[in-house]
Structure 1
């Protein structure tokens, strides 16, 4: 596969992704040192939000690692990394409430989350098959395989694009609920916004890389057919 002009943009996007990952870790570590005025730990904040939204049956579990926090929609469990679960920092309660935002999305059947859940089984197959189809297509100059690989890869890109509004909406819900429940003061809103925005940027960067790669493959496919 020859070097394509789109590769320059992909390299830039990849650099943005690395910077975003560095930033989210740096931002989390910075605000992990700032204690929340409420004194709530990540677990306590998450538990209160879940209960306030009628999700008493959704458990919260600690998991090892850093920034491994997530909501499991299959088992309906909020899982918080140990630094988030046990600490009472701005970073901890921000991340914890963000994950509760996903649990609330699940409860109210937030359309984009529903779409992401429905496409997920297909994404697992498509994302695994796409690289092999594309590589085989380019090696053997088989436009049919390239085209099929592009279709499969498009499904994976669609999943990442759908993820963006899901993440932004969860963060928006988290900020609004934290304020409404009195978890943070007006002065602490800035820290919460920085933590959540930094995390969202990693999803934006990942989606951008995939989208540029998809455009590149489509351009190569189109030019090969013209030849």
Structure 2
């Protein structure tokens, strides 16, 4: 490797490393901000007095969905919709709470149920990718570090190439998740805005909107973090050619 190639490789590695650190800092800030917002809005009671579970049931019924159950699950921020079991899973803090945050999260998860019922293309595509992504995620855990070591000591890029390819799939999946999450929030806010018996004031609606916006930002930074990690490991492959 000549001096110019060495400098190019050095810049490539360090640029990718700097990007990873930058994204990690932004991710920390966004996560902190989201948790802070969620905690604040969890203390703001709904004037309607409805619980997260009641909001979820009302939204499902309003969209003609009667085959989806709303259940309570353990943990914090573990809320999700499971298309396989057709269940809206709400954490205890959301299921029983009668707050703005609980209403927003419950409506968002029901937004996924509505997507499923209406065969929303992005959700269908994302769901179809899950089995492949599970395999790819397992591969990345073993192949990236081992691949880098093999590349350094034996100049064999094969294992690392497999790891980078698997990570590329995981990264692609994280970006596919974004339109699914944004659309679910859009559906949730539209429904809440049209149902004054649930979110009764403009202030409550704006608070719900703010909570869901910060929740969406956590998915954005997660996707960017995955991309930064991909570029970092890919830089080992690209720069070995110099």
Q: TM-score, normalised by structure 1?
A: 0.94
Asked whether 1:63 is paired with 2:77, we answer: no
1:105-184 equivalences in 2 (<5 Å): 105-141=115-151, 142-182=156-196, 183-184=198-199
Q: Which runs of 4+ in 1 moved over 3 A?
A: none
- Describe the SS at the equivalent of 1:24: helix
Match of 1:221 in 2: 237
Q: CA deviation at 1:134?
A: 2.2
- Describe the SS at the equivalent of 1:74: coil
Tell me, in whole angstroms, the C-alpha distance in 1 between the residues paired with 2:33 and 2:84.
30
Q: Which residues of structure 1 form unaligned runs of 5+? A: none
Asked whether 1:201 is paired with 2:236, we answer: no
What are the superposed Cα offsets for residues 125-181 of structure 1, whole Å, 9 maximum, x if unpaired?
111112322222221212222222111111111111111111111001000011112
Q: Which residues of structure 2 form unaligned runs of 5+? A: 1-9
Q: CA deviation at 1:216?
A: 2.1
Tell me, in whole angstroms, the C-alpha distance in 2 between the residues paired with 1:87 and 1:96.
10
Match of 1:75 in 2: 85
Q: CA deviation at 1:56?
A: 1.2
Match of 1:86 in 2: 96
1:14-53 equivalences in 2 (<5 Å): 14-53=24-63
Tell me, in whole angstroms, the C-alpha distance in 2 between the residues paired with 1:192 and 1:6.
36
Tell me, in whole angstroms, the C-alpha distance in 1 between the residues paired with 2:141 and 2:42.
39
Give the superposed CA RMSD.
1.4
Tell me, in whole angstroms, the C-alpha distance in 2 between the residues paired with 1:62 and 1:173.
22
Tell me, in whole angstroms, the C-alpha distance in 1 between the residues paired with 2:229 and 2:69.
39
Match of 1:100 in 2: 110
Q: CA deviation at 1:209?
A: 0.7
**Residues matched between the structures, number:** 225
- Describe the SS at the equivalent of 1:5: helix
Q: CA deviation at 1:219?
A: 2.5
Tell me, in whole angstroms, the C-alpha distance in 1 between the residues paired with 2:161 and 2:43.
50
Q: TM-score, normalised by structure 2?
A: 0.89
Tell me, in whole angstroms, the C-alpha distance in 1 between the residues paired with 2:208 and 2:40.
12
